[in-house]
């Protein structure tokens, strides 16, 4: 039997069905990548293994630290992120997901570079947050917790973080410094400590009565547990998983009409 | 910048460092695959994102049900598992992990077919269980909980499941039927129910005073939570992650000597 099986260098329709799979640029970080894939599986709500979304996840984590690079004005990580995304395109992936908020500071460059669609976690999350207040979106009070680069470059800015009054900016800085310490704990494997610290950090953030608290780093999503179920918590990893499922479902509906166009 | 980046169709040394990554045949099932990648990340115990094990995970879940195929004497899933493993080999992976116990009923055929090493989850788990009793291994009392095919074909047989006396075989059948119901719950998304049922099933299995209870289906590993920390619980997904880390670490040591031979 073995000799009968052709050795292919990219997914074939037989291998992946008649649809191009999702491509996932992993490793930023590795625990966050696993959390995204777990959420994707849990949210898919299918009855059988065979009905889950096919994906190729390339986790080549030797990418320079995104936050440090941005803070010194370096684009070094962008080149490596694009290499991985190109590789996934070449492997036959029909859309690309990157479960890392900070990497989305380069979302414009990534979209310009790719042929495949980037399912833009930050853009979709911002829309979800804004829609959550409908016509009152302009007065939304949100607190974002993420890497230094994400915060300094306003990854989730425009969500009116400034509606808390003059006394808040110093407190916000303290909250965000603690978020960075928690992210470092997760990356270095101190998950239990990090979970306790995140619970306390969210409690402290809630003392300012925000409408939304955005877990703006996927390392925080990776350890947030049941926190993500609270109405005031926005977890971009959850939102990215929903968007990937929407992408797949839309293609499933389209497939009957344009199957040849989207065959792997 | 974008034009400067070559579009490669397989991982390059620059993309994956100088080492061939781990290849993961996913989708059997998707939640179990995510759990394996989570455990791999947690157990790696590294300080930085960049130090995690690079991997390519191909999750093309349209593989016929392994247990049903084996029960009717069909090898259909083997062909599709090999297609995925070949694809990972072609992509440059240096070893293959399959976080699915039942698929290992074909481990011999898979090893014969692959150029890359199969990190054999079942073989390593059997060794770990046998070693856990040292010279008394022959008298080890273990209960395996997994799919019908795994149980009927003795995936973890030889671990002396028969030391419980004559009255036990009927009870074992009942325990294993409940395990199959739990596996079905997990595959169909009823994770909360499945977790409660697994806790009760393990409690029932413990009433026979086994030395070890083997979670012989990765869907059980995916939902077992803290149970895997109990001394009498054997979680093959944990053991596979350890073996993958050992494979990577051994290569790291070897790399100084045979770097060229294992370059991606």
Which tens digits make up the pLDDT trace of A217-244?
999 999 999 999 999 999 999 999 999 9
* Percent with pLDDT over 90 in chain A: 73
Distance CA A176, CA A201 (A): 9
State ipTM.
0.91
Reference A226, options A236, A216, A235, A217; nearest CA is A235
Mean pLDDT lowest for which of A260-264, B26-30, B254-258?
A: A260-264
DSSP B142: E
DSSP B226: G
Tokens, residue A103: 């990497």
What is the overall mean pLDDT for chain A?
87
Strand order in the sheet with A142-145: A142-145, A212-215, A233-234
Residue-wise DSSP of A200-261: HHHHHHHTT--SEEEE-SHHHHHH-GGGGGSTTEE-HHHHHHHHHHHHHHHHHHHHHHHGGG
Nearest neighbour of A90 by CB, restricted to B7, B56, B82? B7
- The secondary element (H helix, E strand) that includes residue A56 is strand A55-59
Q: Chain A residue with minimal CA distance to B36? A: A34
3-class SS of residue B206: helix
What is the overall mean pLDDT for chain B?
87
Reference B60, options B38, B88, B95; nearest CA is B88
> Is the model's pLDDT at B14 over the cut of 60?
no
User: Which residues from A are below 8 Å from B45, CB to CB?
Assistant: 189
Tell me, what's the pLDDT at B2?
Answer: 38
pLDDT tens sequence across B119-165: 999 999 999 998 887 766 567 889 999 999 999 898 998 665 566 77
> Is the model's pLDDT at B3 over the cut of 70?
no
Burial status of residue A98 (CB atoms within 10 A of its CB: 0-12, 13-18, 19 or more): buried
Nearest neighbour of A79 by CB, restricted to B1, B10, B56? B1
Tell me, what's the pLDDT at B192?
Answer: 94
pLDDT tens sequence across A135-170: 665 678 899 999 999 998 989 986 655 667 777 888
Query: Which residue in B61, B66, B75 has the most chain A C-beta atoms within 10 A of its own C-beta, making it the best mutation to test that interface?
Result: B61
* Percent with pLDDT over 70 in chain A: 85
With an 8 Å Cβ cutoff, is B54 touching chain A?
A: yes
> Is the model's pLDDT at A24 over the cut of 90?
yes
User: Which residues from B are below 8 Å from A221, CB to CB?
Assistant: none
> Is the model's pLDDT at B87 over the cut of 50?
yes
DSSP B18: B
* A37/chain B closest Cα distance in angstroms: 5
Q: What share of chain B is helix, strand, coil (3-state, %, to 5)?
A: 60, 10, 30
Rounded average pLDDT over A25-37: 97
Nearest neighbour of A28 by CB, restricted to B46, B49, B86? B49
Tell me, what's the pLDDT at A163?
Answer: 65
3-class SS of residue A169: helix
E strands present in chain B:
22-25, 55-59, 95-97, 117-118, 142-145, 212-215, 233-234
With an 8 Å Cβ cutoff, is A46 touching chain B?
A: yes
User: Which residues from B are below 8 Å from A62, CB to CB?
Assistant: 16-17, 50, 54
- The secondary element (H helix, E strand) that includes residue A117 is strand A117-118
User: Which residues from A are below 8 Å from B187, CB to CB?
Assistant: 47-49
Query: Which residue in B18, B28, B34 has the most chain A C-beta atoms within 10 A of its own C-beta, making it the best mutation to test that interface?
Result: B34
Residues B15 and B8 sit within 8 Å (Cβ to Cβ)? yes
Tell me, what's the pLDDT at B86?
Answer: 95
Nearest neighbour of A52 by CB, restricted to B27, B56, B86? B27
Tell me, what's the pLDDT at B179?
Answer: 97
**Bridge-based pairing state of the strands A95-97 and B95-97:** unpaired
Vertex A129, ends A252 and B35: CA angle to 5°?
55
Distance CA B148, CA A162 (A): 59
> Is the model's pLDDT at A211 over the cut of 60?
yes
Tokens, residue A97: 């997901």
* Percent with pLDDT over 90 in chain B: 73
Rounded average pLDDT over B191-197: 96
| Helix B168-187 vs helix B191-206: crossing angle, to nearest 10 | 160
Tell me, what's the pLDDT at A159?
Answer: 67
With an 8 Å Cβ cutoff, is B75 touching chain A?
A: yes
Tokens, residue B91: 């992509």
Rounded average pLDDT over B232-249: 97
Query: CA distances (Å), A149 to each of A105, A152, B95, in order?
Result: 9, 5, 36
Tokens, residue A11: 């997914």
Query: CA distances (Å), B4 to each of A106, A113, B1, B187, in order?
Result: 17, 11, 5, 44
**Bridge-based pairing state of the strands B55-59 and A55-59:** antiparallel
Q: Grade residue B263 by pLDDT with cuts at 50, 70 and 90.
A: very low
Tokens, residue B224: 């077992």
With an 8 Å Cβ cutoff, is B170 touching chain A?
A: no
With an 8 Å Cβ cutoff, is B103 touching chain A?
A: no
pLDDT tens sequence across A1-13: 334 344 555 555 5
Q: Grade residue A106 by pLDDT with cuts at 50, 70 and 90.
A: very high
Residue-wise DSSP of A77-116: HHHHHHHHHHHHHHTT-SEEE---TGGGGGHHHHHHH-SS
User: Which residues from A are below 8 Å from B5, CB to CB?
Assistant: 79, 82-83, 86, 113
The answer to whether A31 contacts B42, with C-beta atoms less than 8 Å apart, is yes
* B224/chain A closest Cα distance in angstroms: 14
């Amino acid at each position: 039997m073995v000799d009968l099986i052709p050795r292919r260098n990219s997914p074939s329709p037989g291998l992946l069905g008649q649809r191009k799979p999702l491509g996932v640029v992993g490793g930023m970080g590795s625990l966050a990548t696993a959390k995204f894939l777990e959420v994707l599986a849990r949210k898919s709500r299918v009855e059988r293994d065979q009905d889950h979304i096919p994906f190729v996840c390339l986790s080549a984590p030797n990418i320079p630290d995104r936050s440090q690079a941005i803070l010194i004005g370096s684009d070094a990580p962008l080149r490596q992120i694009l290499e991985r995304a190109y590789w996934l395109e070449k492997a036959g992936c029909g859309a690309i997901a990157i479960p890392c908020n900070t990497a989305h500071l380069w979302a414009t460059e990534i979209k310009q570079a790719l042929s495949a669609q980037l399912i833009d976690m930050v853009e979709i999350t911002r829309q979800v947050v804004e829609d959550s207040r409908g016509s009152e979106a302009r007065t939304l009070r949100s607190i974002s917790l993420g890497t230094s680069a994400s915060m300094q470059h306003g990854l989730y800015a425009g969500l009116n973080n400034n509606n808390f009054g003059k006394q808040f900016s110093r407190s916000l800085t303290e909250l965000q410094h603690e978020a960075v310490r928690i992210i470092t704990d997760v990356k270095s494997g101190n998950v239990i400590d990090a979970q306790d610290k995140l619970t306390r950090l969210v409690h402290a953030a809630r003392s300012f009565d925000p409408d939304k608290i955005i877990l703006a780093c996927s390392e925080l999503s990776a350890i947030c547990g049941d926190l993500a179920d609270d109405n005031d918590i926005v977890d971009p990893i959850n939102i990215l998983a929903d968007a990937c499922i929407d992408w797949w479902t839309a293609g499933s509906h389209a497939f009957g009409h344009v199957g040849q166009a989207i065959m792997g």
